[in-house]
Amino acid sequence: GAVVSQHPSRVICKSGTSVKIECRSLDFQATTMFWYRQFPKKSLMLMATSNEGSKATYEQGVEKDKFLINHASLTLSTLTVTSAHPEDSSFYICSATHQGGVYGYTFGSGTRLTVV
Amino acid sequence: AQTVTQSQPEMSVQEAETVTLSCTYDTSENNYYLFWYKQPPSRQMILVIRQEAYKQQNATENRFSVNFQKAAKSFSLKISDSQLGDTAMYFCAFMKRGFNKFYFGSGTKLNVKP
């Protein structure tokens, strides 16, 4: 089956530094990848949608300059949290489509980011 | 705008019994899809079941079935013969046909007790 690997699973960084999270589709080509943020005991909120080779489309209210998304290949998308602050601490989940249709969504196992 | 509401923050069920999780949604769209996703303690989101709005027949996947009431905008999930491995957060989700965007509900935490 389709597998999406997300790395790291946990990361702690100091306030003011940047951290990169990787999302890889291991056995399929992901034309579109999605980044979600999940607050404790809350639902998933879509942050942005990225298509391979083009700029990401951000949801309203998401800071483009803080959350840099790159989708350079059909198997890799990265989310970089720049100048991280404690309020950026959260659980980040990526998802990828492999069929181009509504049934082809696979989620990564998420990254717990803690900014201290 | 689409909204998805799950009114049960937490539920418990005894192993082998049946439990129903509620979900309602609000949309002016006619063509859409509905999903139930499971998020176990590992945090991996797993698709449980999906339903196309144009299909009147309720979707079923082994022990999981839905009760889709389009007019009432209701989409409940029934889990039969509950197993310990069903313990997880369950999210109801909506997607407008042709758009790559999920609208998730706030989730229901299901505890299956031995």
Report the gap between the CA of B55 and the closest CA in chain A (Å): 15
pLDDT tens across the length of chain A (116 residues): 788 999 999 999 999 999 999 999 998 888 889 999 998 777 899 999 998 888 899 999 999 999 999 988 889 999 999 999 999 999 999 999 876 555 578 999 999 999 99
**Residue B52: per-residue pLDDT:** 93
- Rounded to whole angstroms, what are the CA distances from A99 to A70, B1, B42, B47? 21, 26, 25, 15
**Residue A43: per-residue pLDDT:** 86
**Residue A83: per-residue pLDDT:** 97
Nearest to A107 among B45, B97, B105 (CB): B45
Closest CA to B90 of B35, B27, B51: B35
For A:60-99, CB contacts with B below 8 A are 91, 93, 95, 97
CA-only gyration radius of chain A, Å: 13
For B:20-49, CB contacts with A below 8 A are 33, 37, 42-47
Lookup result for tokens 């299901």:
B110
Q: In this structure, are strands A111-115 and A10-13 parallel, antiparallel, or unpaired?
A: parallel
Strands (DSSP E) along B1-114, which ranges? 3-5, 10-14, 19-21, 24-26, 32-39, 46-52, 60-61, 64-69, 74-79, 88-96, 103-104, 108-113
Residue ranges, chain B, pLDDT below 70? none
B91 touches chain A (CB under 8 A): yes
CA distance B75 to A100: 25
Closest CA to B101 of A62, A89, A60, A45: A45
Closest CA to A102 of B98, B29, B53: B98
CA distance B34 to B53: 7
Which of A6, A43, A58, A62 to probe by mutation at the B interface, max B CB count within 10 Å?
Answer: A43
**Residue A112: per-residue pLDDT:** 96
Report the gap between the CA of B19 and the closest CA in chain A (Å): 21
B43 contacts on A by Cβ (under 8 Å): 91, 93, 109-110
Assign residue B43 a region (left: φ > 0; alpha: ψ between -120 and 50; beta: otherwise).
Answer: left
Four-residue CA torsion sign, A65, B95, B43, A72:
negative
A46 touches chain B (CB under 8 A): yes
Rounded to 5 degrees, what are φ and ψ at A79? Answer: -120, 120
Longest dimension (CA), chain B: 42
**Residue A99: per-residue pLDDT:** 61
Nearest to A103 among B46, B50, B102 (CB): B50
CA distance A91 to A74: 24
CA distance A33 to A56: 9
**Residue A102: per-residue pLDDT:** 54
